[in-house]
Chains A and B, each alone.
Chain A
Amino acid sequence: MLRRAPRRTHRIGRGRQTAVAYALLAPSLVGVLGFLLAPVAIVLVLSLFDWKLLSTPEFVGLANYQKLFTDSDVWHSLLVTVYYVVICVPGTTILSLLLALLVDRKLRGMKYFRALLVIPWMATPVALGLVWSWIFDPGRGALNQFLGVFGIDGPAWLSSPVLAMPSVAAVHIWQFAGYNMLFFLAGLQNIPRSLREASSLDGASPVAHFFTITLPLLRPTMLFVLITNVIGSFQAFDTIFVMTEGGPGDSTEVATYLIYDEAFRKFDFGYASTISVLLFAVVLIATISQFVYFERRTTYEVSG
């Protein structure tokens, strides 16, 4: 009896809590349903239709998917996307980790320095893209002016099929490195200082300490950063749209750009939806495989 009473109140309290929680969640739940899940469902349905915007939608079954498998543009754009991801993810991760190690110390003014590094992520991507197009401009751009000081005749960064992709990827890395640094910084500050003292007592060099202690303990952070980066790079659109419009030729035509092109230049909404579904599947597979890979290797707690 005595035992039950508190349990019951506990349960009631919990039910109330749940109700309050859902009430508080409702606004964002509406957002997720109306603006995230509903569009996904609509895209899935649209991918089964032939819809050129001005014409009446016509059900065509899997015809769009058949076209997908023989469309070299689509597979090319997937390769381009993977190329972009392969540059951006390691680039952003390594740079942000280095930055985190750099700013993980107590120095006067360090917090301003940290804030400064996050600013690129806060800025509007379209504005960033414009500014970087000016910097990369072969004639009067800041980059080639700078190289000119050393007597180097700088290339046409964004109109060279070879250099365009590394150039736009560099902007992506610059844009997101500071933001990802925040996660590594939080991760680093969770590692007990006693471990550092212990390892240095045992005579470990700072490099050895980093690879045998810091890095393994950063695994949960690493998992988060890698997954969000892979997804983010697969979905990159805005800076590429502003800087190269997928060009020169189709050298920076990532999947998202192809989707935009099909939908808003050619007004083929059905086919654009089909490519979106493909991209969704690719990102899903990439994310799940990362989870599986890390699940076996992640140490969440120091005592573990």
Chain B
Amino acid sequence: MSRSVSRRTFLIGAGSVLALAGCGSSDDKASSGGGKVELVYRLWDEQQEVGYKAVFAEFTKQNPDITVRMEVLPWDQYWTKLTTELASGKAPDVFWLTVDYFPDFASKGVLAPLDDLISKAGLKLDSYHPNVVQSYKFEDKQLGMPKDMGIVGLLYNKDLVTKAGVTMPAELTWAPDGSGSFLEVARKLTVGSKQWGFCSWNHSQTQWLNWIASNGGHAMDKPYGAFDFASQKSVEALQFARDLVFKWKVSPDGTRTNPPTGQATEMFYRGEVAMFPANNALLPFALPEVKFPIGVAAMPAGPAGRTVVINGLSEAMFAKTKHPDEAGKLVAFLGSEKAQRLMGDAGYIIPALNNAGAGYKAFWKQKGIDVQPFLDSAAGSTVNLPIAEGWTAKSPEINKTVNDLYLDKVGVPDIATAMDKIGNDK
């Protein structure tokens, strides 16, 4: 038995190595045909893949000698494959990048600096959301073209809200002591042990990082700086995330929601959770899953006002691409107003380009969803995800530690100290 198992496992491994090799060489083959160049573009979102078809059709219209082939990979495989390819020197020409992975890639020199091509194309970095621009800056070089802003807002189940006779206040507020309109609404929307007003779960981007920021705390003092989860403001915010579950009882607990097996998002889809914070990029995925109308509100404002996490993606270019000129043209085009509006107007993303969100709003209005709170939040006070060296390894460790926050066993200050220890290691 063991032999067959290991052989099978092994074959999977060998298969993926072959697949990697095959993939890396594919772009060489495609390029050598009479001045025509095929670029490989890698992404993980099969919804946006549809949108990009229109974008690349327009690009090829403007650049008849360049075509773009898309490769869509599931999230987990995306990073494994991309990292191994970058290490082996054969990677896609242009690919998506998150703030999480940026620092580790940037410091290894696998990303091409974009400043020259940006200025040559007549684009200006200050016309994009400053948080997104800053996220992809490394040692004064711009290594990622701002693509979109993933902004956190509060999705809610309109049916449950109507049934409870609640009117959503224009602005929700929270405070560590449990005062404010947010908790009040969450309590009204909680029914027995089958329906929860809110879902407080372990998701840094849409959950606890927002509580910390709107309580006036900081996950870290500056990009590439020191983590400070153990400061008073942060601990208060983390305690609030726990209190929502165990003290105020308006949210399911970690046994149901903790990643990787938890089903927080599915609980919202199923109508078991009334209010659910989400990145706006979830909308195209959520809409086909739900049987109720979705409402959008801004995240609750805390003692320090409303500050929400922004998770803008970027388009990155492989430093060793065989076609730097063509890939550069593509990156510049993706940053252009034309491309950003094509994606925004089709409802996929809020463009990182300032004041390009009107089409996005119009698209979702047709679907019966008013996304203005997302746009307002993006225009208001925003905070980046942590930007730190070694973050790809540290982030999953920290997230694992935070699972305890939603289980009510380990004390919150101890959890915060453990998070700092991981974050500030080395």
Chain A residues in the interface with B (C-beta under 8 A) = 35-36, 52-55, 121, 125, 138-139, 156, 158-161, 164, 176, 179-180, 227-229, 231-232, 235-238, 244-250, 261, 264-268
What chain A residues lie within 8 Å of B86 (beta carbons)? 54
For window 261-286 of chain B, which residues contact chain A by CB distance below 8 Å? 261-263, 266, 270
Cβ contact within 8 Å between B392 and A267: yes
Question: Which of B83, B254, B255, B266 gathers the greatest number of chain A CB atoms within 10 Å?
Answer: B255
What chain B residues lie within 8 Å of A244 (beta carbons)? 260-261
Q: How far is the CB of B20 from chain A (nearest CB, A)?
A: 12
Question: Which of A139, A236, A248 gathers the greatest number of chain B CB atoms within 10 Å?
Answer: A248
**Which of B3-11, B214-222, B232-240, B342-350 faces chain A?**
B3-11
Cβ contact within 8 Å between A249 and B392: no
Quick one: closest B residue to A155, CB to CB? B255
Cβ contact within 8 Å between B392 and A266: yes
Known: A235-B2, A249-B404. 16 other contacts (CB 8 A): A35-B14, A53-B87, A54-B86, A54-B105, A139-B263, A164-B261, A176-B1, A232-B1, A238-B9, A246-B260, A247-B259, A248-B255, A249-B403, A250-B400, A265-B396, A266-B396
What chain A residues lie within 8 Å of B301 (beta carbons)? none
Cβ contact within 8 Å between B261 and A54: no
What chain B residues lie within 8 Å of A139 (beta carbons)? 263, 266, 270
Q: How far is the CB of B371 from chain A (nearest CB, A)?
A: 29
30 CB-based A-B contacts, threshold 8 Å: A53-B83, A54-B83, A54-B87, A54-B105, A55-B108, A138-B263, A159-B255, A159-B258, A159-B262, A229-B1, A229-B2, A231-B2, A235-B9, A236-B5, A238-B12, A247-B258, A247-B261, A248-B258, A248-B260, A248-B261, A248-B262, A249-B258, A249-B403, A265-B80, A266-B392, A266-B393, A267-B104, A267-B392, A267-B393, A268-B393
Q: How far is the CB of A187 from chain B (nearest CB, A)?
A: 15
Q: Mark B80-103, 1 if CB is under 8 A from A, else 0.
A: 100110110000000000000000
Cβ contact within 8 Å between B6 and A235: yes
Complex CA distance for A244 and B260, rounded to whole angstroms:
7
What chain A residues lie within 8 Å of B396 (beta carbons)? 261, 265-266
What chain A residues lie within 8 Å of B266 (beta carbons)? 139
Given A54-B86, A266-B392, A267-B83, are A245 and B260 also a contact pair (CB < 8 Å)?
yes
Question: Which of A156, A159, A245, A246 gathers the greatest number of chain B CB atoms within 10 Å?
Answer: A159
Complex CA distance for A264 and B402, rounded to whole angstroms:
21
B256 at the interface (CB under 8 A from A): yes
Complex CA distance for A238 and B404, rounded to whole angstroms:
26
What chain A residues lie within 8 Å of B6 (beta carbons)? 235
B110 at the interface (CB under 8 A from A): yes
Q: How far is the CB of B248 from chain A (nearest CB, A)?
A: 22
What chain A residues lie within 8 Å of B403 (beta carbons)? 248-249
What chain A residues lie within 8 Å of B404 (beta carbons)? 249
Quick one: closest A residue to B403, CB to CB? A249
Cβ contact within 8 Å between B10 and A35: yes
Chain B residues in the interface with A (C-beta under 8 A) = 1-3, 5-6, 8-10, 12, 14, 79-80, 83-84, 86-87, 104-105, 108, 110, 254-256, 258-263, 266, 270, 392-393, 396, 400, 403-404, 407
Complex CA distance for A268 and B86, rounded to whole angstroms:
15
Q: How far is the CB of B259 from chain A (nearest CB, A)?
A: 7
What chain B residues lie within 8 Å of A179 (beta carbons)? 1
What chain B residues lie within 8 Å of A265 (beta carbons)? 79-80, 392-393, 396
A-B pairs, top 10 by smallest CB distance, nearest first, are: A245-B260, A266-B393, A231-B2, A159-B261, A54-B108, A232-B2, A247-B260, A228-B1, A228-B2, A247-B261
Complex CA distance for A249 and B399, rounded to whole angstroms:
10
Q: How far is the CB of B386 from chain A (nearest CB, A)?
A: 16
Cβ contact within 8 Å between B393 and A53: no
Given A35-B14, A266-B392, are A125 and B87 also a contact pair (CB < 8 Å)?
no
Cβ contact within 8 Å between B104 and A232: no
Complex CA distance for A139 and B264, rounded to whole angstroms:
12
Quick one: closest B residue to A283, CB to CB? B2
Cβ contact within 8 Å between A235 and B5: yes
What chain A residues lie within 8 Å of B14 (beta carbons)? 35
Q: How far is the CB of A245 from chain B (nearest CB, A)?
A: 4
Q: How far is the CB of B74 from chain A (nearest CB, A)?
A: 13
Complex CA distance for A231 and B4, rounded to whole angstroms:
11
What chain B residues lie within 8 Å of A267 (beta carbons)? 83, 104, 392-393
Q: How far is the CB of A258 from chain B (nearest CB, A)?
A: 12
Complex CA distance for A261 and B399, rounded to whole angstroms:
14
Complex CA distance for A76 and B377, rounded to whole angstroms:
43
Complex CA distance for A246 and B400, rounded to whole angstroms:
11
What chain A residues lie within 8 Å of B255 (beta carbons)? 156, 159-161, 248
Q: How far is the CB of A159 from chain B (nearest CB, A)?
A: 4
Q: How far is the CB of B234 from chain A (nearest CB, A)?
A: 22
What chain B residues lie within 8 Å of A236 (beta carbons)? 5
What chain A residues lie within 8 Å of B260 (beta carbons)? 244-248
Complex CA distance for A264 and B392, rounded to whole angstroms:
11
What chain A residues lie within 8 Å of B84 (beta carbons)? 53
Complex CA distance for A248 and B262, rounded to whole angstroms:
8
Quick one: closest A residue to B110, CB to CB? A54
Cβ contact within 8 Å between A159 and B263: yes
What chain A residues lie within 8 Å of B8 (beta carbons)? 125
Q: How far is the CB of A140 from chain B (nearest CB, A)?
A: 9
What chain B residues lie within 8 Å of A266 (beta carbons)? 392-393, 396
Given A139-B270, A245-B261, are A156 and B256 also a contact pair (CB < 8 Å)?
yes
Q: How far is the CB of B392 from chain A (nearest CB, A)?
A: 6
Q: How far is the CB of A40 from chain B (nearest CB, A)?
A: 12
Complex CA distance for A248 and B84, rounded to whole angstroms:
28
Q: How far is the CB of B404 from chain A (nearest CB, A)?
A: 8
What chain A residues lie within 8 Å of B392 (beta carbons)? 265-267
Complex CA distance for A151 and B108, rounded to whole angstroms:
58
What chain B residues lie within 8 Å of A246 (beta carbons)? 260
